[in-house]
Amino acid sequence: MSTEVMLNEFKEISQHPYRVLSQYKQEGKKVIGVLPYYAPVELVVAAGMVPMGIWGSNSKTISMAKEYCATFYCTIAQLALEMLLDGTLDQLDGIITPTICDTLRPMSQNIRVAMSEKLPCIFLAHPQNRKPSFGLQFTMDQYNHVKAELEKISGSAITDEALREAIKVMNRNRAARREFVKLAGEHPETISAVTRSAVLRAAWFMEPVAYAQKLEALNAQLSALPVQPWKGRKVVTSGIICDNPKLLQIFDDNKIAIAADDVAHESRAIRVDAAETGDPMMALAQQFADQDYDVLLYDEHSNQNRRADYVVDLVKKSGAQGLVLFMQQFCDPEEMEYPYLKKALDDAGIPHIKLGIDQQMRDFGQASTAIQAFADVL
């Protein structure tokens, strides 16, 4: 299969998650919606069900969700609720609602209330003190709750063996994504910003094994390509999500390649694997404990600026000339960490721009001007 054909397949899936969901249902599979962030999809896989990431929508308009939300909530969460209310996600068999930010806390309640007669909602509260033994224990307690709820939906018990297998599947899936991110940074002439996003976005909709296989095949072809000199610029992207093709087209139009990312929807979600041996539930808890450098997570070395230093290091190692921060509107965790990110970038002499975005954006004129101007200074 040619690279182009494979890329088109990823694009198709990325653009039409509803079709993918319908396909799984036709095949008799059960599908569990997974809201951001850090839900243990391994448990869904181990239960023989399909995890489907829900990160809002670039084409829907907030309407019914207004019955639950004031305007000052992130559009990702509001549009997730919108799709639950308007029937887009009616085929789901359950949904996992993590609560690690201040919007997701009350949203977990709104979703549970709104879906009370429609869909089982599986609540998940991660700990912030996640590294000490009591934090690991609490993560396991929470994951055991998720496991029990998933078992009710699937109708069968999740064995340790199945969970260990699922961990292997997800490790493989994450490894393929990490490899792709690296290859995409090396081959911007083949992988445009729009395409890169489509491939990574498809990961949230496809069955993990099938996705890993397909991506490994693509990666094999990309690694066989000779590295060509890139005439444009390279940047690192940062933020919660930047999967709008129209926005990313501006990068491609200005020959700005994405060398690496610090994006929750992309690399932040795949940095850490779980151990494939030992107690699998502990392996998942340890995996969450090992997540770091994230605006959403408590840093026990908070008097240092570790997260920003990590991002600066990422820029340097990736060979990027600057950083583009996609500031999701109303995302206070990102906003809270911006001053210290800016400081570290400035200290390191790395230029950056902060682009305010949300998923209701339809006009990218202003963003286009800002990105063009930024490309000129790189």
Fill in the per-residue mask, 125 to 154: x = in contact with other proteins (CB under 8 A), - = not in contact.
Answer: xxxxx--x-xx-xx--xx------------
Select the residue interacting with other proteins from 299, 321, 351, 370 (CB under 8 A).
Answer: 299
Question: 122 pairs with which residues across the strands?
Answer: 96
Separation CA 259–CA 303 (nearest Å): 29
Separation CA 275–CA 284 (nearest Å): 8
* 63 binds other proteins, rule: CB under 8 A: no
For residue 175, what are the contacts with CB-CB under 8 A and spacing of at least 6? 273
Residue 101, amino acid: C
* 70 binds other proteins, rule: CB under 8 A: yes
- CB pairs under 8 A, 24+ apart, for 334-342? 334/239, 334/240, 334/295, 336/295, 337/295, 337/307, 337/308, 340/305, 340/307, 340/308, 341/238, 341/307, 341/308, 341/311
The least CB distance from residue 33 to other proteins, in Å, is 17
Cβ proximity to other proteins: between 85 and 183 the closer is 85
The least CB distance from residue 315 to other proteins, in Å, is 18
The least CB distance from residue 44 to other proteins, in Å, is 19
* 101 binds other proteins, rule: CB under 8 A: yes
Select the residue interacting with other proteins from 26, 59, 277, 302 (CB under 8 A).
Answer: 302
Select the residue interacting with other proteins from 69, 80, 248, 260 (CB under 8 A).
Answer: 69
Cβ proximity to other proteins: between 114 and 162 the closer is 114
Question: Could you tell me which of 7, 58, 356, 4 has the C-alpha nearest to residue 200?
Answer: 7
* 67 binds other proteins, rule: CB under 8 A: yes
Cβ proximity to other proteins: between 105 and 316 the closer is 105
For residue 369, what are the contacts with CB-CB under 8 A and spacing of at least 6? none
For residue 42, what are the contacts with CB-CB under 8 A and spacing of at least 6? 163, 166, 167, 169, 170, 274, 280, 284
Cβ proximity to other proteins: between 165 and 309 the closer is 309
The least CB distance from residue 72 to other proteins, in Å, is 6
* 107 binds other proteins, rule: CB under 8 A: yes
- Output the CA–CA distances (angstroms, integers) from residue 173 to 115, 117, 214, 260, in the order listed: 31, 34, 10, 18
Please tell me the count of residues contacting other proteins according to CB under 8 A: 53
Q: Where are the beta strands (DSSP E) in 207-268?
A: 233-239, 256-263
* 340 binds other proteins, rule: CB under 8 A: yes
Please report, as ranges, the residues that interact with other proteins according to CB under 8 A. Answer: 67-70, 72-73, 99-103, 105-110, 112-113, 123, 125-129, 132, 134-135, 137-138, 141-142, 295-296, 298-300, 302-305, 327, 329-330, 332-333, 335-340, 342
